[in-house]
Amino acid sequence: MIEEDYEAWDAYPQHRWLFNKLDLSSRLGYDCGPACVPIKKTGYYIVRPIYNLYGMGIGAHKKFFNVNLHGEAMIHHKYIPPGHFWCEWLDGTHYSIDFIKNGGKWEPFCCMKGTHFSTDNLTKFKEWEVIDPTFCFNWSFNILPEWIHDIETEKYLNIETKGDKIIEIHLRSGNDVAWSYNVGTKIIPVWRGEDYKEYEHLPFLPNFHPESFKYEADGNLSDVRVGYYVNENI
C-alpha cells in the first residue's frame, strides 16, 4: 500500500505532474507564477515550494504583496525564493477528502474539516472534525474537473481544498487516522511543547511512525506533531 508521496512518485510516473504545485495551480485556473515572475495585482498570496513531497506545509506562508511596491523586485528573486511560487490566497474551510474509485469515478468515503490555529502558520492544525461523506459527495460531484477521474492509483486518492477550491491532490489516502470514527468525532493534533491538560482524559493516538525525525523534516519544521487526541463525545 502506498503511504507516502515519495512512494507514489516511484509508483505513478505518469502522474508526476501532480506533485508540481505550480502546474496544478495553473491548470486549476488560479493566478500564480514562479520566482522571477511578478504579481499582477495587490493582495494576499501563498508562497510555497513548487515541489514538497514531504508535506506538512513546509516552506508555505501567507504574504501580502503590493504590485507597485513588490512587483518589479520579484523579477530579481526578491520575496519569492528560487524553487518557490506565488499563488492567489484562497479563503474558505480546509477540507481533506479520501476517495475510492467506483465505476470509473472517484467518490469520497472519508471527509475531514480542518481548523488552523492561525493563517500565519499553515502547518499547525488545531483540530480535524470527521464530517458526513454525503456532503462531500454532493459537493465534489460539482467541483472535480473531469480529468481527475482519469487518474489511476493502487486504490485511494486524497484531495485537499479551501472551500470549493482544490489546493492539493495526493496519489494516496490522507485521512487514515479518521477511518474508524463516526461523523462528528474531533481529532486533535498534539504538538510538541504545547499544553494539552484539558484533553488528557481522551484516548491518545501516537503517530503512525514512531521515529520523531520523520515529523521534524530534518529541522525544516518548527512545529512537530507527536500524535492525536480523539474526542468521540458527539
Per-residue pLDDT tens for 112-139? 999 999 888 888 999 999 999 888 777 7
The closest of 22, 16, 17 to 82, measured between CA atoms, is 22
| Angstrom distance (rounded) from CA 122 to CA 109 | 25
Residue 166, pLDDT above cutoff 90: yes
Q: What are phi and psi of 201, to 5 degrees?
A: -80, -10
User: For residue 234, what pLDDT is reported?
Assistant: 63
Q: What is the mean pLDDT of residues 49-76?
A: 93
Task: Give the start-end residues of each E strand in the chain.
Answer: 32-34, 43-49, 61-65, 84-88, 94-102, 105-118, 121-131, 156-162, 165-170, 186-191, 204-206, 225-231
Residue 189, pLDDT above cutoff 60: yes
Q: What is the mean pLDDT of residues 182-195?
A: 94
Residue bearing the bigger pLDDT, 212 or 11: 11
**Cell numbers at residue 36, please?**
522571477
User: For residue 8, what pLDDT is reported?
Assistant: 96
User: How buried is 45 (Cβ within 10 angstroms: 0-12 exposed, 13-18 middle, 19+ buried)?
Assistant: buried
Q: What type of residue sits at position 73?
A: A
User: For residue 142, what pLDDT is reported?
Assistant: 72
User: For residue 122, what pLDDT is reported?
Assistant: 85
**Domain boundaries, given as residue ranges, for the chain:** 15-88, 94-231
| Angstrom distance (rounded) from CA 201 to CA 169 | 35
Q: What mean pLDDT is reported for the chain? A: 91
User: For residue 143, what pLDDT is reported?
Assistant: 76
Q: What are phi and psi of 148, to 5 degrees?
A: -65, -35
Per-residue pLDDT tens for 95-115? 999 999 999 999 999 999 999
**Structural contact between residues 110 and 129, judged by C-beta atoms closer than 8 angstroms:** no
Rounded to a whole number of angstroms, the distance between the first and last alpha carbons of the chain is 32
**Cell numbers at residue 186, please?**
474531533
Percent of the chain with pLDDT over 90: 75
User: For residue 38, what pLDDT is reported?
Assistant: 97
Per-residue pLDDT tens for 194-230? 999 999 999 999 887 766 556 666 667 788 898 999 9
Residue bearing the bigger pLDDT, 158 or 142: 158
